[in-house]
């Protein structure tokens, strides 16, 4: 079974990301920073937050769903705000999505918030609402259940330092994963955590019996040439049984976002 974690960067590089996802077709794809604009047929809209202006693929959830026709697609919104078509505001939902190959029976799910709650009118003040989603599937090849939970961690304008809010979101993520997993499951937690490798977030998850793989395998970061700021770490993959790992990679050579895809084979 192949499990991929990726921050999609709002689909900014969709022209390379979609063919890459279609060709790779992981059994489970955990995708963060996903846009869903159900009232718009536009391909592109614009996100505006002060000086931060970013093109957004208006229906990235639809696009990835079409690229992975053999997968069950689940969208988990954190907020609904507006994107812009010129001077026209378009209601758009922002969150994360999980794609599961139809050959894997989904035998459990969990969805919840690791910070605040759903924001129905506006994306909100920073730090904004953050959700998490998990699926429990049956792996017939290994004859076991596998639970995979992911989140998009808080973005703090001050940086990636430890904060009480980040500690609380780590506890909530851990608890959601524990709620989903059953005894005997192989348990995976991943996502764009927006923290450093020495963070309290990873310590909280380590205390729950999970091993972080990006640093354990000696990778120097999870960002690529599209990310020009300091700090090369953001994305992490953790597992509760390192002996179950058949392969693990942070994909640098194919740039589909300003984040690198993280690929785990178990």
Tens-digit pLDDT profile for residues 136-172: 999 999 999 999 999 999 998 788 999 999 999 999 9
CATH number for 2-265 (one of 3.60.10.10, 3.40.228.10, 3.30.1360.70, 3.40.50.720): it is 3.60.10.10
* pLDDT, mean of residues 50-60: 91
Judge contact between 38 and 29, C-beta under 8 A. no
61 has a pLDDT exceeding 90: yes
Percent of all residues in the chain with a pLDDT value above 90, rounded to a whole number? 92
| Cβ atoms < 10 Å from Cβ of 81 | 19
Which sequence spans correspond to the domains of the chain? 2-265
**31 or 54: which leads in pLDDT:** 31
Q: Mean pLDDT score of the chain, rounded to an integer? A: 96
| Cβ atoms < 10 Å from Cβ of 6 | 30
What are the CA-CA distances from residue 64 to residues 17, 118, 161, 205, 209 (Å)?
A: 9, 23, 32, 30, 33
Percent of all residues in the chain with a pLDDT value above 70, rounded to a whole number? 100
d(C-alpha 178, C-alpha 211), whole Å = 15
Give 14-36 pLDDT, tens digit per residue: 999 999 999 999 999 999 999 99
Give the DSSP letter of residue 119. Answer: B
User: 49 pLDDT band (50/70/90 cuts)?
Assistant: confident
Give 204-237 pLDDT, tens digit per residue: 999 999 999 999 999 999 999 999 988 899 999 9
């Amino acid at each position: 079974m192949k499990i991929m974690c990726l921050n999609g960067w709002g689909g900014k590089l969709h022209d390379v990301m979609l063919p890459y996802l279609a060709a790779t077709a992981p059994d489970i794809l955990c995708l963060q920073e996903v846009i869903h604009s159900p009232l718009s047929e536009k391909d592109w809209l614009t996100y505006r937050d002060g000086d931060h202006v970013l093109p957004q693929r208006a229906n990235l959830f639809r696009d990835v769903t079409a690229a992975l026709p053999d997968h069950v697609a689940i969208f988990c919104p954190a907020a609904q705000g507006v994107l812009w078509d010129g001077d026209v505001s378009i209601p758009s939902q922002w969150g994360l999505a999980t794609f599961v190959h139809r050959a894997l029976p989904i035998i459990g799910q969990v969805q919840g918030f690791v910070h605040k709650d759903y924001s129905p009118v506006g994306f909100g003040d920073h730090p904004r609402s953050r959700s998490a989603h998990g699926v429990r599937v049956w792996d017939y090849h290994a004859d076991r259940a596998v639970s995979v939970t992911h989140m998009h961690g808080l973005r703090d304008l001050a940086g990636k330092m430890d904060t009480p809010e980040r500690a609380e979101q780590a506890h909530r993520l851990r608890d959601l994963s524990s709620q989903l997993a059953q005894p005997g499951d192989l348990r995976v937690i991943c996502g764009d955590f927006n923290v450093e490798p020495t963070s309290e977030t990873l310590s909280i998850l380590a205390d729950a019996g999970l091993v972080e793989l990006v640093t354990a395998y000696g990778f120097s970061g999870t960002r690529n040439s599209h990310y020009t700021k300091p700090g090369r770490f953001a994305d992490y993959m953790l597992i509760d049984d390192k002996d179950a790992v058949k392969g693990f990679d942070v994909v640098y050579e194919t740039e589909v976002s300003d984040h690198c895809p993280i690929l785990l084979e178990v």
